[in-house]
Structure 1
Amino acid sequence: MPVSARLTLPALGLAGLLLASAACSDTPEQAAASETRPASPYKATRLPGSYRTPDVTMTAADGRPYDLPARTKGKVTLLFFGFTNCPDVCPTTMADAAGALALLKPAERARVQVVFITADPKRDTPRVLADYLGRFDKSFVGLTGPIKTIMKAAADAKTPITPPGPDAKGNYQVSHGSNVMTYGPDGAGRLMFPYQFGSVDMAKDLRTLLATV
């Protein structure tokens, strides 16, 4: 059975910022400033607005081209990279996302799109993606395409993936980031949900985000 690696940092830049913050003690002036800084309304990690929806056109589960930024414009988009043979991270994350959508009001849910980009295009055909994602929520969009396009999308999303080698056969490992990258209706980065964030907290953060965009 294949195993997916849990790579949780969205980008070296953001990771470096977080690690640097953890490693350094605040000066009295910094401590005072942090006390007056308003608390984040989100439990998830905020993404810089410079993060953008990956500018790629891929193949959707219906076999048709899917222009990712154009098709998700106007919606809050949850983007995840994974593969259908993943035994743990991917099904858990998709179940969390489906559970979160189920907790939203119909009008809120209509403004959210979940997109799953495969890191294993050899096995994850459009039909396989449609069958897999349909088990969680039929509104989920599954995308595949040439590995070069997939790698570009992952780079744009600051999400690490390591596709299988060219001679990989049968059950093999596909390493991929485990975060869900979330973008606003304008395509700007908003939130990062880490692995096992949970449906309830995800729904709360999505509801808060939807109220501001």
Structure 2
Amino acid sequence: MPVVGFSSKSNPIYFEAAIGAVRLTAVKTAAYTAVAGDFVRADPSGGAFTINLPGVSNVEAGGSVEITNISTGANNVTVQPAGSDTIDGVGGTITLSSNESAKFVGNGVTGWIRVSGTSTSLSTANTWTASQNVASVALTDAASIATDASLGNVFTVTLADNRTLANPSNLVSGGTYQWIVTQDATGSRTLAYGTDFTWPGGTVPTLSTAAGAIDLITATYDGLKLRAVITQAFA
């Protein structure tokens, strides 16, 4: 069962809705140009910056961009429409202060409408009425397999030789991560683990060895270590 880790920096997560998919972007710490469907988490802790809206003429009417300032500091996030596009019928920018969110819906012709009071904050409890899915991230098979946890929560890799799953970077305390590990057509590939991985009873598991076998590693990071379990032999 996929795990949605909202504490992770970037997943992407797709919310199926009437006007299309919403893409939860990686946390932005510098200027960024959004695309239709983005849910942009902006962190101006290191300095204020601008999120640029896409040109509304290139966005289907009803397409949206949602932006939230996730910082607790004094720096603002500026929202800039493209060219002569407007926000609520007027030109110029708007600013989002600490923990402020806004959703912008394009009219497909001249500009954006700011929808007030409908933004979804991920720092409070929410009830989702449609499916949320974590897009998997393909890892590069290598002697030492690297995982950047800021890119997602579900990772896939096919082993072409004996490998080590190295300690992931950018882990977030409370985040849950999954690795779908597949044996190649030869099989019998082994997988060692970085020191951040810990296992029930202290026993490191052995992968399924059959050609094409699929094992699922699930781990929750507690701020110190990855507490991992494995489910084996799906093939």
TM-score above 0.5: no
The structure with the greater share of residues assigned to strand is: 2
Q: Tell me which structure has the larger Cα radius of gyration.
A: 2
Q: Which has the higher contact order (CA 8 A, sep 6+)?
A: 1
TM-score calculated relative to the size of structure 1: 0.24
Please identify which structure carries the higher helix content.
Answer: 1
